Every structure is written in C-alpha cells, then in structure tokens.
C-alpha cells in the first residue's frame, strides 16, 4: 500500500524512539511506494542536524540515518498545489510545511504516516486515512 510520509516518522526512527507507527511505516517503505513533498528531503536532514547539535545523535548516527534513507525509494513531489496548501494551513492552523504533506496525501488519495498530532488531526478532519 502506497502512502505519504512526513519527517516525524524518519526522525523518530533515527532517534531510536519507541513508536509502533514509525516502525510500521519504515518497514512498509522498504516494500511499497512512498511519497513526500520535496521539502521532506531538507526537513529530515535539518532535523537530524538539530538533534546532532543537541547531543541526541552523533555525526556517525546522522550519516547512518542518511545512508538508510538513501536505500528507500521515496518519491519527492515537486508539483505542490499552492492554493490547496494555503487553504489547508489556514483552516487547520497548520504550518505551510505540514499542510504540504496533507495536500499531497489528499491529491494522491493516499494514507498519511505522521507522528505529528496536529497534522494527524487535520488529516482525519479531511478524511485522509492514517497509515495503519
């Protein structure tokens, strides 16, 4: 089953957090199509670097996480629908970044894998399934 993934899933895995949802999403990502907005590439790497600076990851762990990500065939979307993103951000009080994940899930009619509670609530309100 294809799905849209946000940065929270990947960062949870890199930080070794105990999350059944993140574990499931990353396992599925090895066997199915996964989509993310183009900003995901930057958001994940920025999150890794921030956690490295905070002492939660070492440089080696950051590089290992990026190597593991390179083995996944995550398809980055470069055609966001700006009006829809802004509408979603406004109506659900999301950041434009989070609204981009929701817009992509809506446009592709795919479930969304996220650990972000506000994004998950907005997805439910829009009828987007959570990755089960």
pLDDT at 59: 95
pLDDT at 73: 87
Average pLDDT, integer, range 68-83: 93
Average pLDDT, integer, range 58-82: 93
Average pLDDT, integer, range 37-64: 96
**Range 90-97, long-range pairs (CB < 8 A, 24+ positions):** 92/118, 92/121, 92/122, 92/125, 92/126, 93/118, 94/118, 94/119, 94/122, 97/39, 97/43
Spatial contact of 29 and 72, defined as CB atoms under 8 Å apart: yes
What predicted TM-score, i.e. pTM, was given to this entire model?
Answer: 0.93
Query: What's the topology of domain 3-125?
Result: Rossmann fold (3.40.50)
Domain ranges of the chain: 3-125
On the question of pLDDT at 132 being above 80, the answer is: no
Task: Please state, rounded to an integer, the average pLDDT across all residues of the chain.
Answer: 95
98-125 pLDDT, tens digit per residue, is 999 999 999 999 999 999 999 999 999 9
């Amino acid at each position: 089953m294809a799905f849209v993934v946000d940065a929270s899933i990947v960062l949870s895995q890199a930080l070794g957090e105990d999350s059944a949802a993140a574990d499931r999403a990353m396992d599925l990502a090895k066997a199915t199509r996964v989509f993310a907005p183009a900003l995901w590439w930057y958001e994940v790497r920025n999150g890794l670097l921030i956690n490295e600076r905070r002492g939660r990851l070492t440089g080696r762990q950051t590089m290992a996480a990026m190597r593991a990500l390179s083995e996944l065939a995550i398809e980055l979307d470069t055609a966001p629908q700006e009006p829809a993103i802004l509408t979603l951000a406004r109506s659900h009080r999301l950041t434009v970044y989070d609204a981009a994940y929701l817009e992509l899930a809506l446009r592709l009619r795919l479930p969304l894998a996220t650990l972000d509670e506000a994004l998950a609530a907005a997805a439910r309100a829009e009828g987007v399934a959570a990755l089960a």
